[in-house]
Amino acid sequence: MSTIRPFIIAAVFCTALVRALAQSPIDVITQALQQVEQQPRSLDISTDKAAQALAAFSAKEACDALYEKLQRADPVGNQHPAIMKISRKLSSFDIDGWVGHLEVEPAPMTLYSGLSVAFASKESHSPKLKAFAQRLLSDQRIGEERHGEARGYASKGLRVCDHALNLLWHIEPKATQPSGFPVDAINSTQRRDQMIADYAKKFGVTLIASEDANPLKEPPKGHPPATAIASPGSNIQPSPPNKEQQTSTAWLMWLLVVITATVGAVWVFLRKSK
């Protein structure tokens, strides 16, 4: 029993080490969100640690994991701010991948929150994000419900197009930003529509005119086709697992097994020689 005890201890240690080192981006984000849920004041500390841990992965892996969590996030809780803060602190953010996710997002509230995450990232000035936000200037679906504010607003909550307009003005030089920016729910719908029309005229953006002005529908003839967006009933296929990460994890496990066996053999040899 005493002979195999070192092997058991080494095996337990190596198993714990493999689990720690083989942690996925989604695990890192899940832990950060759990910490924030348990202790809201830890928002900055938890998201900073998560961003540091995600630096070990590729920008695409971090982007995919953030988007997966965004889809499941509680819209009222601290999860959206936490995801935004993580994206802001990442040194590298796969904005093209993020826009690719949003292009097939059927839920307006998730799309709205996805714009906020992109807004917060260091890649918010991406041409691809700008082109996507310009297409959303025709999406009049509600993206953020109002939760009984003290002031009685005469208009409905912010729409996807309103948030897209805020993002677009954010990436323009401050000197060009109009009065009334950023748009919020206190602005009447007519005022918001006017600001969208002003932006479209200034930058030559063609707004899609339809009953509900939803760019998810096919644009009229003569307009450039927007990227197809999935219907609410469609299934979004998850990203395939990263083969490089799987390979490196397998090699790491084999290496730790060899180290464990070597340490055990040396220990047995030294014990016998004594």
Whether the Cβ atoms of residue 118 and residue 103 lie closer than 8 Å to each other: no
Residue 35: pLDDT band with limits 50, 70, 90: very high
Tell how far CA 195 is from the center of its chain. Answer: 28
Residue 214 token pair: 């939803």
Segment 130-150, tens digit of pLDDT: 999 999 999 999 987 665 444
Amino acid identity for residue 102 in this structure:
L
State the Cα–Cα distance between residues 48 and 196, nearest whole angstrom.
35
State the Cα–Cα distance between residues 73 and 121, nearest whole angstrom.
18
Rounded average pLDDT over 226-234 = 35
The DSSP bridge partners found for residue 159 are 142
Averaging pLDDT over each range in 16-30, 38-52, 68-82, which range is the top one?
A: 38-52
Record the pTM.
0.69
Cα 125-31-42 angle, rounded to 5 deg: 75
Rounded average pLDDT over 162-177 = 94
Q: Which residues, including other chains, have CB under 8 Å from residue 194's CB and lie 6 or more apart?
A: none
Residue 239 has pLDDT above 60, yes or no: no
Residue 180: pLDDT band with limits 50, 70, 90: confident
Q: How far is CA 156 from CA 36, 59, 70, 133, 187, in A?
A: 30, 36, 24, 21, 9
